[in-house]
Amino acid sequence: MNDLMDRVDWLAFGSLIRARRDGRQMSQAALGKILGISQAAISLIERGSPTGLTADRFHVLLSSLEIAESELPEVQKIKPAAAGNHIFISYSHKDKVFLDRLMVHLRPLEKRKLIDPWADNRIVAGDKWKTEIASSLKKARAAILLISADFLASDFIVDNELPPLLKKADESGTFVIPVVLKPCRFAREAGLATFQSINSPEEPISGLDEHERELVYDSIALRLERLFENKS
């Protein structure tokens, strides 16, 4: 059971739990009582953070909501064709505060050399910035998109960063993680909406309290940790 839990995509699984629970008109408190954990813990699980969910409780959860093992969403493994640990982070400079907090959460993985996250704030004076960005895009093993109205309004991002990233995702398995920072038209952007965002577009980071924002950032780090630890 522990091996099965390690393979679960907790963000997608949280959405499945919520949908199955809503279909049965079961409250978070009622489900928490069945599992012997708090309503707050159920809320965290549905947001992608399996706090307090032991193997025994996981089994009871599946049984209570009649979720078959075949229905469990699994973390997408990195395709062998795309090698390395380089991660390209695309963002609008107007959203730099979100980038800074994300990098704090990614730092432990970077120190372990599990990932090599790159954003254009690593460009130093004298570098040819377009060349540096193009080089990073070419090496990208995964990409994090920090999406807002400013992101979608950026000609450079839309014309120069997204096309090669989406092409690499299709052709070589580059893994794309959208993160919705602020209310915007992400869900209506055909090229982007095909990728599941780490958080619900209806619950952008800007509208969350500090605890919930930290959960989203931690979910990004967890997604990357599992991706790169399970790469073929």
| Numbered ranges of CATH 3.40.50.10140 in the chain | 86-229
Distance, in Å, from the CA atom of 221 to the CA atom of 144, rounded to the nearest integer, reads: 11
Name the pLDDT band for 160 (thresholds 50, 70, 90): confident
- The whole-angstrom distance between residue 198's C-alpha and the CA centroid of its chain comes to 4
Kindly report the average pLDDT of the chain as a whole number. 84
Q: What is the pLDDT of residue 97?
A: 97
Query: Partners of 177 in the beta sheet?
Result: 144
CATH 3.40.50.10140, domain 86-229, yes or no: yes
Give the residue among 225, 230, 202, 214 at the shortest CA–CA distance from 49.
214
- Size of the chain in residues: 232
3-state secondary structure of 146: strand
Provide the phi-psi class of 145: left if phi over 0, else alpha when psi is between -120 and 50, else beta: beta
Q: How many other C-beta atoms are found inside a 10 Å radius of the C-beta of residue 147?
A: 27
What single letter denotes the amino acid at residue 129? W
Model confidence over 205-231: pLDDT tens digits? Answer: 999 889 888 888 988 898 888 788 765
| Positions of CATH 1.10.260.40 in the chain | 2-71
2-71 falls under which CATH superfamily? lambda repressor-like DNA-binding domains (1.10.260.40)
Q: Does residue 83 register a pLDDT over 70?
A: no
